Chains A and B, each alone.
Chain A
Amino acid sequence: TQLLEQSPQFLSIQEGENLTVYCNSSSVFSSLQWYRQEPGEGPVLLVTVVTGGEVKKLKRLTFQFGDARKDSSLHITAAQPGDTGLYLCAGSTYSGAGSYQLTFGKGTKLSVIP
């Protein structure tokens, strides 16, 4: 069973601060995805990283995939109240059943206070 550990579990910061969320595993993944989920909604895909060492930027969000493809981080610069939500990382592995199965972490619940 592949496990993804996310830290911190909860994060409450002031608007304008920077933050980093971590996603760690002992397993190697073919790719890793980050999702954001708001209350009462399904997760929405933010980014997919595929190559070890890859860095992707999405406005104020920077995503990094570890060299060994076992871990990832999400860095948010100058957080805004609209960034509030549950951030989920998900590792993809081939399930052998014609599908790439996603294993999710438990998430980091971010609150950005105005």
Chain B
Amino acid sequence: GAGVSQSPRYKVAKRGQDVALRCDPISGHVSLFWYQQALGQGPEFLTYFQNEAQLDKSGLPSDRFFAERPEGSVSTLKIQRTQQEDSAVYLCASSSLRDRRASGANVLTFGAGSRLTVL
């Protein structure tokens, strides 16, 4: 597609439930990032994939958070046993290596995000 697509746009979960958030990156984009954005804050890095390889997961806040990208395209962020502090917007972004080489930095295209509310 033309942009990064995320689903669901809104998710309400009861504390303790598991949730799965999906990201469809721009076709052909090798790099995929997940960020968490709490209300009134800037996005915070969670994890990074290059193709199907998860190269950096240093930002995942706990072992309840798990991300995968098995075929190097669509990615899923899973949160197990959700807690109220997990309430946030989860943003996915993708970028191409060609754009990085041209600009000297990652050129990220973000999706609209999935807003998770844990009651």
Residues on A lying within 8 angstroms of B by beta carbon are: 4, 6, 30-31, 33, 40-45, 48, 50, 88, 90, 92, 95, 97-107
Contacts and interface: CB of A to CB of B under 8 A. Distances in A.
Given A99-B55, A103-B45, A45 B108 contact: yes
Given A95-B56, A98-B55, 15 more contacts: A4-B42, A30-B104, A31-B103, A31-B104, A41-B113, A42-B91, A42-B110, A48-B105, A50-B103, A88-B42, A99-B55, A99-B106, A100-B105, A101-B45, A106-B41
B103 A102 contact: no
Interface residues of B, number: 29
Given A42-B91, A95-B56, A97-B48, A102 B108 contact: yes
B56 A106 contact: no
Contacts of B105: 30-31, 33, 48, 50, 92, 100
A42 B45 contact: no
26 contacts: A30-B105, A31-B103, A33-B105, A42-B93, A42-B113, A43-B108, A43-B110, A45-B108, A48-B104, A50-B103, A50-B104, A88-B42, A92-B105, A95-B58, A97-B55, A97-B58, A98-B50, A99-B56, A99-B106, A100-B100, A100-B106, A101-B45, A101-B48, A104-B44, A105-B42, A106-B41
